[in-house]
């Protein structure tokens, strides 16, 4: 740490589910550029880190690095492990001794001023962890892409043997059919319950620990512009946020001659379906 400046990171995951049909990957790849632009605008100085499934090629990892991400290229996802195990690879940011503060975010949700100011208020509070619920649909105790914490506190409270050991133990004890929010509810929340600052649009979640609850520091509306709520899934076909105009032509050009997937069948699906959509959108 230089002086009193904390080293902060935004952690994302990009992985390929084991299914017959490739998800609409163009949506998420285009979102990579949008999220990077938003991070520079709203979280200046934060490391933007992507934990990338090893089923993506090294060349693809290189394209993403050129956008300004720190890319951690993982081994290929293991079919024997639950999907939440792969989604939760972003938790590995907690193990990094060079990161003092982390926040987990989803690629399909825009970073906004409301998000940034809320995080600043939390950091100023001195509380170890931060959790947000900004819509009635946010019904889990920890929303997987809307929480964060101080790395030392996370290691001390729920991952003293490291995240790999934490995930291995969870895989043996948490239902494989659930999602990553089930993992957080079962294996993280019980350890941080009394040390989390909640920001809750409805205040319904403050029943968990009222003394550590706070309203959001700004409304989701700025004049006549509706910025949306924290965690909102951006609805446009390429997951572009409304407040940010992102030119993705350079990203598309970087992918033009890049093999995106290691597996031939995935690459074939990409070239046939998702890539033409993305190229059309970005050009």
Query: Which CATH number is 174's domain given?
Result: 3.90.550.10
In a domain, 23, yes or no: yes
Give pLDDT, residue 53: 92
In a domain, 120, yes or no: yes
In a domain, 283, yes or no: no
Low-confidence winner among 52-56, 109-113, 160-164, 177-181 (lowest mean pLDDT): 177-181
Give pLDDT, residue 243: 39
What is the rounded average pLDDT for all residues in the chain? 81
| Tokens coding 231 | 């965690």
Q: How many domains does the chain have?
A: 1
Radius of gyration of the CA atoms of the chain, in A: 19
Largest CA distance in the chain: 55
Give pLDDT, residue 25: 80
In a domain, 154, yes or no: yes
In a domain, 219, yes or no: yes
Q: What percent of the chain has pLDDT over 90?
A: 40
In a domain, 1, yes or no: no
| b/e map 77-112, b = 16+ CB within 10 Å | beeeebbbbbbbbbbbbbebeebebbbbbbbbbbbb
Domain span including residue 172: 8-278
* Mean local confidence (pLDDT), 145-152: 95
| Distances in whole angstroms, Cα of residue 161 to Cα of each of 89, 144, 164, 169, 180 | 16, 22, 8, 11, 20
Residue 22 pLDDT exceeds 80 = no
Burial of 4 (0-12, 13-18, 19+ CB in 10 A): exposed
pLDDT band at 101 (very low <50, low <70, confident <90, very high): very high
Residue 72 pLDDT exceeds 70 = yes
pLDDT band at 242 (very low <50, low <70, confident <90, very high): very low
SS3 of residue 69 by DSSP: coil
In a domain, 24, yes or no: yes
DSSP bridge pairs for 13: 51
Distance CA 272, CA 255 (A): 14
In a domain, 3, yes or no: no
SS3 of residue 51 by DSSP: strand
DSSP bridge pairs for 222: 225
Cβ-proximal residues to 220 (8 Å cutoff; 6+ apart), any chain: 114, 134, 226, 227, 228, 229
Start-to-end CA distance of the chain, whole Å, equals 42
* Mean local confidence (pLDDT), 248-258: 81
């Amino acid at each position: 740490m230089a002086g009193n400046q904390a080293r902060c990171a935004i952690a994302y995951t990009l992985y390929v589910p084991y299914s017959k049909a490739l998800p609409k990957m163009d949506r998420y790849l285009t979102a990579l550029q949008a999220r990077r632009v938003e991070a520079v605008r709203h979280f200046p100085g934060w490391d933007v880190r992507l934990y990338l499934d090893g089923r993506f090629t090294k060349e693809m990892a290189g394209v993403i690095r050129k956008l300004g991400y720190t890319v951690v290229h993982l081994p290929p996802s293991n079919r024997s492990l639950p999907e939440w195990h792969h989604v939760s690879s972003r938790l590995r940011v907690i193990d990094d001794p060079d990161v003092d503060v982390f926040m987990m975010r989803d690629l399909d949700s825009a970073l906004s001023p409301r998000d940034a100011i809320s995080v600043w208020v939390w950091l100023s509070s001195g509380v170890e962890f931060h959790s947000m619920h900004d819509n009635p649909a946010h019904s889990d105790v920890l929303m997987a892409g809307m929480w964060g914490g101080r790395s030392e506190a996370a290691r001390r409270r729920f991952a003293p043997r490291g995240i790999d050991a934490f995930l291995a133990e969870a895989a043996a004890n948490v239902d494989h059919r659930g999602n990553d929010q089930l993992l957080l509810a079962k294996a993280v929340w019980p350890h941080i319950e009394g040390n989390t600052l909640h920001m809750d649009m409805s205040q319904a979640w403050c029943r968990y620990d009222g003394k550590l609850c706070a309203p959001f520091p700004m409304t989701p509306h700025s004049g006549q512009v509706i910025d949306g709520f924290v965690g909102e899934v951006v609805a446009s076909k390429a997951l572009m946020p409304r407040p940010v105009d992102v030119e993705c032509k350079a990203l598309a050009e970087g992918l033009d001659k890049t093999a995106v997937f290691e597996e031939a069948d995935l690459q074939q699906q990409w070239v046939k379906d998702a890539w033409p959509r993305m190229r059309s959108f970005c050009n």
